[in-house]
Homo-oligomer: A and B are copies of this chain.
Amino acid sequence: MQMTRKVVETRDGLPFLISGSGTLGWDQVAANLVEPGENVLVLQTGYFGAGFADCIKVYGGKPKVLKAPYGSHIGLEEIEVALRTKKYKAITITHVDTSTGVLSDVKAIAATVRRTSPDTLVVVDGVCSVGSEELKMDAWRLDVVTTASQKGLGVPPGLCILVASPRAIEVFEARKTPVTTYFASWGKWMPVMRAYDNKTAAYFATPPVNLIRAYHASLSEITKLSPSLDERYRIHKQVSRRVKALADQLGLSLVPKDTAYAANGMTAIYLPDGLVASDVVPRMASKGITIAAGLGDAKDKYIRIGHMGTSVVDAERGDIDRIAKSLQASLNEAKNAKKAVVEETP
């Protein structure tokens, strides 16, 4: 519990560690903080923002989606205008949308919200960012940060991690309508989490003990003094610049239109004309490197490379060099294979 607080840099936030995927974090927000009919401003910078909006609707909230142009982010002015036109219970920000690799400026957005509409709860989906992108829950005055075990925290998937600010808990406790979820209900989980905090036992549902142990081990590593969290973020940025430079060098463009808002824990790269993701992903796999195809409508046209956690912080592993070499080789192989097919066609 204490280490979870450390990672998102909060003193008094209440962590909820529940068996489930990152998606369960959306359910917790939509079901516990938003009451039916209340408005939520959803910033959509890719596939995952759309999912969050869908989830809010399921629980009776009214999502208003601000959609960024593909590969771009959402300007602060646009957010400010939206906040002035209507009263929003909450705003949701996908810190890094892993479908596009777009990084949102959570600090600036949160400041804008606090200035323009102070009662609006600031909710950050940090599934793809916690541990690899700078995130300061208290300093930036965020109300909810959700994440999952398998990304920047380097634990096998299956653990949903959410931290709620004291203000968020107050809003939850002041609800007028009953919560309409059972498994994701803070009312059910809060006594359990408070008991964990006091190092006593309580039961609501079986915790994923193995994952919690792995999580504990990984957080012990991440929250140790050296490298500090800030150093970790700096190293992620450094490595990210290398990967982005590599794409540039190979003549490839990034999905994010500007590196100013490109994620530091992953890179989404358009493939050269004539190649699709399935030409490259298996070739990388045969070299021992798992990368992913795109996600969404353009999913064949680009690839997504993760560079977060140990692979990045432990430079001696040489993971990034291997990614660079393998990517270059895979692209060449794929191009040659296509050329061969073209030449054989009479």
Contact indicator B158/A210 (Cβ below 8 Å)? yes
9 more contacts with CB within 8 A, not counting A59-B182, A157-B210, A158-B158, are A19-B19, A20-B20, A24-B183, A27-B183, A30-B182, A55-B183, A58-B182, A60-B180, A180-B181
A21 closest partner in B (C-beta):
B205
State whether A157 and B208 are in contact (beta carbons under 8 Å apart), knowing that A20-B19, A183-B20 are contacts in the complex.
yes
A159 closest partner in B (C-beta):
B158
Decide if the interface of chain A is mainly helix, strand, loop or mixed. loop
User: 1/0 per residue A58-69: CB within 8 Å of B?
Assistant: 111000000000
Query: Can you list 20 A-B contacts with CB-CB less than 8 angstroms, sorted by A residue number?
Result: A19-B21, A19-B157, A20-B20, A21-B183, A21-B207, A23-B182, A23-B183, A23-B204, A27-B183, A30-B182, A55-B183, A58-B179, A58-B182, A59-B180, A59-B182, A60-B180, A157-B207, A180-B181, A181-B181, A183-B183
Is A156 engaged at the interface, CB distance under 8 Å to the other chain? yes
Interface size of A as a range = 35 or more
User: Which A47-106 residues have C-beta < 8 A from chain B?
Assistant: 54-55, 58-60
User: 1/0 per residue A268-282: CB within 8 Å of B?
Assistant: 000000000000000
In Å, the complex CA distance between A55 and B182 comes to 6
Is A200 engaged at the interface, CB distance under 8 Å to the other chain? no
In Å, the complex CA distance between A181 and B58 comes to 6
A58 closest partner in B (C-beta):
B182
Number of copies: 2
User: 1/0 per residue A202-221: CB within 8 Å of B?
Assistant: 01111111110000000000
Contact indicator B20/A156 (Cβ below 8 Å)? no
Is A26 engaged at the interface, CB distance under 8 Å to the other chain? yes
User: 1/0 per residue A131-150: CB within 8 Å of B?
Assistant: 00000000000000000101
Contact indicator B58/A208 (Cβ below 8 Å)? no
Is A295 engaged at the interface, CB distance under 8 Å to the other chain? yes
Chain B residues, Cβ within 8 Å of A184: 181, 183
In Å, the complex CA distance between A294 and B315 comes to 50
Is A318 engaged at the interface, CB distance under 8 Å to the other chain? no
What 7 A-B pairs have minimum CB-CB distances, sorted nearest first? A158-B208, A23-B205, A21-B205, A55-B182, A156-B210, A27-B183, A21-B206
User: Which A1-25 residues have C-beta < 8 A from chain B?
Assistant: 19-24
In Å, the complex CA distance between A203 and B203 comes to 31
Is A346 engaged at the interface, CB distance under 8 Å to the other chain? no
Is A178 engaged at the interface, CB distance under 8 Å to the other chain? yes
